[in-house]
Homo-oligomer: A and B are copies of this chain.
Amino acid sequence: MSFEKEIKEIFAKGHEKYLRSVSVDCIIFGFHENELKVLLLQAKYAGIWALPGGFILKEEHMDDAAKRILQQRTGVDDIYMQQFYVFSEPGRSTKKANKQFLKNVGIEMEDSWMFDRFITVGYTALVDFSKVQPVTDILSSDCKWFNIHDIPEMILDHKNILDKALDNLRLQLNYHPLGYNLLPEKFTMPELQKLYETILDRKLDRRNFQRKIMGTGILKRLNETKKGVAHKAPYYYKFDLRKYQKALKGGMGFEL
């Protein structure tokens, strides 16, 4: 199907396939080179950036819609995702944006479900950066990672959504374990600490951090040290999945 035809299809008949007035936007976090990253799409024509998003199929759970969207953008399956907030400002003006988009593509259309007002549900995802292959979608010309401190101009209220997602992530950090989805299987303690420091945006004491993390029991130390470092070699660790899952539900019971 040609690009133009596909767009036409979505605008003209999407409401037969998807729920009306509701969209899903994903904030996909990754961790790479000691920096927290977010995966963004560049909207075609407009040129500015957007969160990966999509719609909910008529018989689909919203969680599955979010997973589907994320799978399509990253190629990654089996991911930790959760909704964190619904954005419903009447002034979001998706209508205006979608009309402008159609105009840019060169399609005339009198009416479309895409011109309705939309509310959007924000989902946060944490993914292993190294496993992700960013994939562009039909509405986008580019798909790539951005440092959390270097976010470009974004469409609609997407910057606001991203900020809220970050706030939420920081809150979660206090009550849930974190890292299993963001780090490779084996990692060192300094790496894990750096992840926490990056998200919280502040320094943590190396020794106290180790004590608390180990206190939760979610980590297992391997009999293996990192090679090729110009100083004392740190041990590798990996997550104890059973205890990790347990802590996910029951909370960790400490503050950083």
Tell me if A83 is interfacial: C-beta within 8 Å of chain B: yes
Interface string of A60-90 (1 = CB under 8 A from B): 1111000000000000000000010110111
Q: Which of these, B20, B58, B85, B88, contacts A56 with CB under 8 Å?
A: B88
Task: Tell which of A21, A83, A116, A121 has the most Cβ of chain B within 10 Å.
Answer: A21
Closest to A62 in B: B88
Interface status of A97 (Cβ within 8 A of chain B): no
- Which range contains the number of A residues in contact with the other chain? 20 to 34
**Contact between A20 and B116 (Cβ–Cβ < 8 Å)?**
yes
Q: Do the beta carbons of B89 and A61 come within 8 Å of each other?
A: yes
B59, B60, B86: the one within 8 Å of A86 (CB): B86
Q: Give the shortest distance, in Å, between A240 (CB) and chain B (any CB).
A: 24
Query: Cβ of A8 < 8 Å from any Cβ of B?
Result: no
Q: With A and B bound together, what is the CA distance between A89 and B119 in angstroms?
A: 18
The interface residues of chain B lying within 8 Å CB-to-CB of A58 are: 117
Name the contact of A21 in the complex, choosing from B21, B63, B83, B89 (C-beta under 8 A). Answer: B21
Please, which residues of chain B bring their CB within 8 A of the CB of A83? Answer: 85-86
Instruction: Give every chain B residue within 8 A of A62 (Cβ-Cβ).
Output: 86, 88, 119
Asked whether A135 is an interface residue with its Cβ less than 8 Å from the other chain, the reply is: no
Q: Which residues of B contact A86 (CB under 8 A)?
A: 62, 83, 86, 121
A19 within 8 A of B: yes
A-B contact pairs, 11 of them (CB 8 A): A19-B21, A19-B116, A19-B117, A19-B119, A20-B116, A21-B21, A56-B119, A60-B90, A61-B89, A83-B86, A86-B86
If A19-B21, A56-B88, A59-B90 are given as contacts, then 14 extra A-B residue pairs at C-beta distance below 8 Å, sorted by A number, are A19-B117, A20-B20, A20-B21, A20-B116, A21-B22, A56-B119, A58-B117, A59-B117, A60-B90, A61-B89, A62-B86, A83-B85, A86-B86, A86-B121
